[in-house]
Structure 1
C-alpha cells in the first residue's frame, strides 16, 4: 500500500527480520508481526520520491528494493489492471511478464486471484511467484472474486494484503476500500456479498466516497469482480446494476473495471444503461483474461458493447494525465487490441497528502 507520505511492506520469514530505509533518517517506522508474517509502515516521507528498503536477518541482507511514494495531484502515471488470473498457467506467467514490461506505477486486480477456491496454500504458486518481480516495488490492489470468496468469504485473500481500512461501517475491514493516487480516486468493492448488503450498506458508502472525490476534483475509477454489463457467457450482473450503478451514474465515474467473464470487453459510455457522449457517461471494461481458462462470447452481443477480444489472454494499461485517461488492451502476444481515450471531467487539483 502506497500513499503520498509513506508506504507499507509485508513479508513472510522464519525468525526475526529487520527492515530499514537506506540513506534516509527521521522516518516514522512501525513494525507488526503475526506468526511468520511481518509488516512495516513507513510514514513522514515525501510525495513522488523513490525510497530503497532493505530486509536483513542474522546480520545478513536478504532483500533490497525500491518503492516510489504516490505523486502529488496532477502528476501523470500509469496503472495496469487484470483479473481472473490465479491458475499458475503458462499464460498467467506470460501476461505477468508483459505487465512488468509496461512498468506500471500500481496494479489493480479485478478478482479471482486463486483458482479454484481461494486456498491460502496456493498463493505462493499462483500469486507470489508469477508477480514477484513487480510486487516487491509496485503496490497491488485487489478486490475479491467469486473463487476467492468461496474460501471463508474471501478472508484468506484479505489476510495476504495490506489494504486501506476505510470501508463502510459494519463490513469486514479491507473488504471494500478506497485510495487516492495523483488526481484519481480508486474504489474497490466486494461484489460477492448479498444484494441487500450492497444496497443498504455499500451503495450509501460508495455514494459518499464518490461525492468527496467530486468535491476534491478527483477522477474516479471503481473496480469490482462482477460486471454490470457484459456480452460474455455470464452476461451482466443484474444486482450490480440495481445497487451500485446508480451511484456510478450520479457521480459520472470515468472508468469501471471488472472481471468474472474471462475475456476483454468495453462498453460505450453509459448512463442509466443508455449510451451517451464520452464526457457524460461511464465506460465499463471487463478485463478477465489474466491467466484463467478463456470463455467464448455470447451468440448475440449486447447493444452497449463497443469492443471485445476473445480467445487470447490480455491485460489493461491505463495512462493518466491531467486531462484524460488513455486505455489500451494488450494481449499475450503484445498486440494492442483496443485503444481509447476517456476525458477527465474534473481538472486535477492539489490536495492534502495521504
Structure 2
C-alpha cells in the first residue's frame, strides 16, 4: 500500500480536524478512511510500544502581537527546527506522542495553532496526548486568554452554530481591546476543557498528563487552592486505581531545573512528585526549559535513590528556540543545550528504554559535536 507523505498526512489531518470539530466524523472513522499505514494504522505489531515525547514546538506565525519582539516570530531557524522534529517523528513512527506543553507560541490562539503547529505536527495530530504550557494558559504579551481556549479548540474541537459557523467567545486584552476565539467542546483529546488532566493505559503502562498552569486559575498555584486541589485529589485517586502498572507522568514545568530557572509551579510539582513517589512511579517528563536533560533516579527532595527514585527527563527541544544549561542541584546525568530533537521511549511490560537523537543543531552553536545522542534503559519498580 502507498505510504502517505508528510504533507499528504497534514492535509488528511487538517480536513479531519475540521470535520471532527463540526461533529461529522470520529477518530475511529479516520482509520477507515486512510490507507491503513502510519499514523492512523498504528506503528506495527511489536510487543513494545513507542512513545515520542517533546515540548516547546511551534513558533508564532504572522505578525508580532502587542508586547512581543520580532525575534518571537517564525524565523528561518525556528521554522526549520519545527519541521526537523516533525520529520523525526515521521521516521520514528510512534504509537503515541506525549507533548509536554507550549505546543504553540506565543499566545496559543486557535488561528496560531492552525497557521503554525498544524502545518507540521498536525500530520499526526490524533496520536498526540498533549499537556498545556504557559503559552496556552497565558496572561502575557498584552493579552488575556486564560483556560487555554485556543489549545482546547485545537485538540477538543470547537462548537458550531446551526449554520456551521463557529460559536465564539470574547476576551479583552490588557489594553481593553477585544478578540474572539471559537468556543471549545467540553471534552475531547486533551481531557475536560478548562482542566486538561487525564490518563491512559498502554502495554502495561499507566500514563498521566497533568496541567501545571495554575497561575491564572482559581486559587492560583497554592497546592490547596481550589483548582489545584481538585487536580491533585484526582491524581491521588487515579494512582490508587492503578497500583500494579508501570507509571509515567508528564506536565510542562519541571520541579528540578537544568537551566537554573525556579518554577513558579514548584510547590504544585513537589506535591505531585510526593504522590508519584509514594505510588512507585517510574518516569516524569517535562518541557518548558528549551534543552534536553536526564536526571538519575531521585526522591522528591532531589536526593539520589537508585532503588525507588523517579527518573526525570526535560525535553523542551521541539523547535521554539533553545535555552542555556546552567549549574543546578541536582546535576543532570546527561544534558545538551545545542540541539533540537524528540525523545523516543520504548515501553514494554515491566521496563522501558529511551533514545534521544538530535534532529538539528542550533546554527548559532559553532563549536562542539555535530549531533547528540543519549540512550539507556530501566526496569519498573
State the TM-score bracket (shorter-chain normalisation): 0.7 to 0.9
Aligned length: 295
Question: Which residue of structure 2 aligns with residue 337 of structure 1?
Answer: 373
Distance in 2 between the 1:12 and 1:133 partners?
Answer: 11
Is the 2:133–2:252 Cα contact (8 Å) retained in structure 1? yes
Question: Which residue of structure 1 aligns with residue 253 of structure 2?
Answer: 226
Alignment of 1:1-354 (within 5 A): 11-13=16-18, 34=22, 38-40=24-26, 42=28, 52-54=31-33, 64=35, 66=37, 67-68=40-41, 75-87=47-59, 89-135=79-125, 139-150=127-138, 151-162=145-156, 172=193, 175-193=196-214, 194-195=220-221, 196-197=225-226, 199-214=228-243, 217-236=244-263, 237-298=265-326, 300-333=327-360, 335-345=371-381
Give the deviation of 1:222 after TM superposition: 0.6
Give ranges in structure 1 of 5+ residues lacking alignment. 1-7, 18-31, 44-50, 55-62, 346-354
CA offsets 1:167-220 (integer angstroms, 9 cap, x no match): 7xxx74661111111211111111011222465211121111112121xx2111
Give the deviation of 1:86 after TM superposition: 1.2
Question: Which residue of structure 1 aligns with residue 7 of structure 2?
Answer: none
Distance in 2 between the 1:9 and 1:126 partners?
Answer: 12
Give ranges in structure 2 of 5+ residues lacking alignment. 1-12, 60-73, 139-144, 157-186, 215-219, 362-370
Distance in 1 between the 2:283 and 2:15 partners?
Answer: 30
Distance in 2 between the 1:281 and 1:40 partners?
Answer: 40
Distance in 2 between the 1:165 and 1:84 partners?
Answer: 19
Give the deviation of 1:231 after TM superposition: 2.1
Give the deviation of 1:281 after TM superposition: 1.0
More helix by share: 2
SS of equivalent to 1:244: helix
Give the deviation of 1:256 after TM superposition: 0.8
CA offsets 1:110-156 (integer angstroms, 9 cap, x no match): 00011111011111232111124433xx5111111000111332122
Is the 1:109–1:143 Cα contact (8 Å) retained in structure 2? yes
Question: Which residue of structure 1 aligns with residue 10 of structure 2?
Answer: none
RMSD: 3.0
Which 4+ residue blocks in structure 1 deviate beyond 6 angstroms?
69-72
More strand by share: 1
Distance in 2 between the 1:273 and 1:208 partners?
Answer: 23
TM (norm. structure 2) is 0.69
Distance in 2 between the 1:221 and 1:187 partners?
Answer: 6
Distance in 2 between the 1:178 and 1:71 partners?
Answer: 23
Distance in 1 between the 2:106 and 2:116 partners?
Answer: 11
Distance in 2 between the 1:329 and 1:220 partners?
Answer: 20
CA offsets 1:7-27 (integer angstroms, 9 cap, x no match): x998245xxx7xxxxxxxxxx
